[in-house]
Structure 1
Amino acid sequence: MFQVLNEDGEIVNKEDMPDLSDGELKELMRRMVYTRVLDQRSIALNRQGRLGFYAPTAGQEASQIASQFALEKDDFILPGYRDVPQLIWHGLPLYQAFLFSKGHYHGNQMPEGVNALSPQIIIGAQYVQAAGVALGMKLRKKKAVAVTYTGDGGTSQGDFYEGINFAGAYNAPAIFFVQNNFFAISVPVEKQTKAKTLAQKAVAAGIEGFQVDGMDPLAMYAITKHARDRAIAGEGPALIEAITYRYGPHTMAGDDPTRYRTKELDTEWEKKDPLVRFRTYLEKKKLWSKEDEDKVIEEAKEDIKEAIKKADGYPKQKVTELIGHMFEELPYNLQEQMKEYKEKESK
């Protein structure tokens, strides 16, 4: 397993230490702290009934945020439903992220210049889409990559194999992430596959595979940059298995992780917390302090307060608007429904 920073905040792999300035290290930490606060507030908002669907992210900040930190603006992100933080740092306004959770169509409309699709709900489907987007980039000779994420459960889907195989066969510039948090809802990874790692599934597709400490932000950044550089150079796609852990439930829709995870396992992974180890490392370098962290926490809370206020006050979507975004040319049955609902809305 590739690692740069261990759980004690010590560099254990100087050779692969990424070339990040002090300012960039601090910015990465800022984003991770901000994202942890966002997760905490989103859970609270969900419980208050102000958000709809929500998949917790605490524990996965390194695999999510540090990987996105290694990307460029022209790169294209195809996220799963737990990967909203990457979209936000790629340019999606926070209020739109909340609208996505509420089921509003505007939450799925990427602003001009934000290269991303809306979060995929169908498990693994984004892998096939990523292969297609990456091939399009190759045909257009763009110096960019398509990046997609799924969980360990996603590797049990046919779309996973089709996506990596297609990208490998056409040498498309794609990076496929598997955030292995060991439980696809309640199903442990050892019941999904007999493979010793998920990274080795890359072998069948003829692409590079890496298993990385997904709680280590420096390792995640370094391996993503390596994979991106290779893809841009025409050396093919990569499959990256990030060994990580989600502290909360699979989603807020009734999942109870205490039914399939032990308190001892939770405690063991909390010791590997990506924020704790990165904070320790930065504090030793005199780059981070409690004052820095408190400032980010207050900034995040204020941003979230304003964003949820805007989302709450956003015009409610109409059925006709929802239907109108489904097809470029509506089939006859939806034309009938559109007519029916336009008449109702006009009354």
Structure 2
Amino acid sequence: MEDRFPVIQYVREDGNVTTNTIKIEKKQMYHFYKAMLRARMMDKKCLNLQRQGRIGTYVQYEGQEAAQVGSALAVEDGDWMFPTYRDHAATMTFGHSLCSLFLYWKGRIEGSVPPEGKNIFPPAVPIASQLLHATGTAWAEKKKNSDRVSIVYFGDGATSEGDFHEGLNFASVFNVPVVFFNQNNGYAISVPVEKQMKSKTIAQKGLAYDVPSLRVDGNDILAVYFETKKAVTRARNGEGPTLIEAVTWRYGAHTTADDPSKYRDQEVSARRRHTTDPLLRVERLLKNQDWWDEAEKVVMEEEITKEINESLEKAENLKEADIDQLFDHVFKKPTWIMEKQRTRHHQINKEVSQ
């Protein structure tokens, strides 16, 4: 199966282009690079904030920037994005503000509300449930005769859930315009992929549903962007769904509550920072093309740092959240047990304030 689904690569680890089917442009490469740099700097900032107790448990994605940023750049305004709890590099690239992302990790309801005109669903915490939401939404767009497309993100562990198979089957039967974007980072929390499934690839799982499937180098932003763009175009033209497996690697823990040294060789991550890193690969490409400008990178870092700090200040200066928001969006009409919990919360808050 690995021979049937080879990993598509446009740029090797040394920064050399492997194909002449695409045109490399300096402006576009710097745009890609800045978007990934912005995502990485945001990820590191959030990790530091969690360690300082300024946000809650945080879910890292460092190392997966090319997969998320490249795919997010391949969809258009008006399309639909369905992220997991780890895909904020994709959502910030697609239009979520950094302030909103900070609010999400601070447990604020406002953090799940996208900017006006941006179709971004709240991050899905239950594994694979968002595949059904994406498929249903895409089907609704098809029935409205629009050309809008859904892109849905999920990890390798999600492909062992029933929702994955139901989503692919439904999308296939009804020829739904959805791109299933899998990020295979080799681990479903602490379980390595070879212990989680016997399939040699995730792409091959699309065969059962006659869904066009492929594997890309998830650390190669050009491969991710152009191959996702093809899938999006297919969906927009009424040709149905595509399953993409982006083979990638995450440097950090599953979450800040996790210790990956218990189940994963940390030397692998250390080596990958110098070989397969997505930002390093673009730097090498730019240098090979004689386009690299160290001063330009410094300017980027300064602009991003300013944006991050201003967004954080705005998020931290908001009025404290109302505890009643915990109960507002569970049921249309609160149940008796919810009202009992709400009353108890108010009593506790009153006792604490006294």
Specify the TM-score bucket, using the shorter chain as the normaliser. over 0.9
Corresponding residue for 1:307? 311
Q: Over aligned residue pairs, what C-alpha RMSD do you find?
A: 1.9
1:21 Cα deviation after fit: 4.2
- Structure 1 gaps of 5+ residues are none
Q: Is the 8 A contact 2:215 2:244 kept in 1?
A: yes
Q: Give yes or no for contact 2:16–2:288 (8 Å, CA) kept in 1.
A: no
Say whether residues 1:215 and 2:236 are aligned partners: no
1:93 to 94, 97, 105: 97
Within the alignment, does 1:247 sit opposite 2:251 as a pair?
yes
Give the TM-score of the pair, scaled to structure 1.
0.94
Question: What pairs up with 1:110-149 in 2 under 5 angstroms?
Answer: 110-149=114-153
Aligned to 1:6, which of 8, 12, 18? Answer: 12
TM-score by length of 2: 0.92
The structural deviation recorded for 1:159 is 1.1
Shift of 1:342: 7.2
Q: What residue identity is the alignment partner of 1:61?
A: E
Using the alignment, how far apart are the partners of 2:237 and 2:173 within structure 1? 16
Is 1:288 aligned to residue 292 of structure 2? yes
- Provide the C-alpha distance between the structure 2 equivalents of 1:95 and 1:121, rounded to a whole number of angstroms: 20
Q: Which residue of 2 aligns with 1:76?
A: 80
Q: Are 2:103 and 1:103 equivalent residues in the alignment? A: no
What's the CA shift for 1:50? 0.9
User: Secondary structure at the residue paired with 1:74?
Assistant: coil
1:266 aligned to 262, 266, 269, which one? Answer: 269
Aligned residue runs from structure 1 range 16-31, under 5 A = 17=22, 19=23, 21-31=25-35
Are residues 1:56 and 2:60 paired? Answer: yes
State the partner residue of 1:38. Answer: 42
SS in 2 for 1:132: helix
Distance 1:335 1:178, change over 3 A: same
For residue 257 of structure 1, what is the aligned residue in structure 2? 260
Which residue number in structure 2 is paired with residue 180 of structure 1? 184
Alpha-carbon shift at residue 169 of structure 1 (Å): 1.2
Given that 1:77 and 1:117 are in contact with CA atoms closer than 8 Å, whether structure 2 keeps it comes out as yes
CA distance in structure 2 between the aligned counterparts of 1:275 and 1:215, rounded to whole angstroms = 8
Post-superposition Cα deviations, 1:168-202, rounded to whole Å, max 9, x if no partner, equal 11111001111000011110000111111001101
What SS class does the counterpart of residue 291 from structure 1 fall into?
A: helix
Counterpart amino acid of 2:157? G
Q: Assess, with a 3 A threshold, how the Cα gap between structure 1 residues 342 and 109 changes in structure 2: closer, same or farther.
A: farther
The 3 A distance-change label for structure 1 pair 46 and 78 is same
Provide structure 2 residue ranges, at least 5 long, that are not aligned to the other structure. 1-6
CA contact (8 A) 2:29 2:282 kept: no
Per-residue CA distance 1:278-304 (angstroms, 9 max, x = gap):
111122323332111111112222211
2:119 alignment partner AA? N
8 A Cα contact 2:327 2:342, kept in partner: yes
Structure 2 counterpart of 1:7, one-letter code: E
Residues 100 and 111, structure 2, Cα contact 8 Å, conserved in 1 = yes
Correspondences of 1:161-200 after superposition (within 5 Å)? 161-200=165-204
Contact 1:26 1:287 in 2 (8 A): no
Would you say how many aligned residue pairs link Structure 1 and Structure 2?
Answer: 344
- Tell me how far 1:56 sits from its aligned partner: 1.1
1:153 corresponds to 2:157 = yes
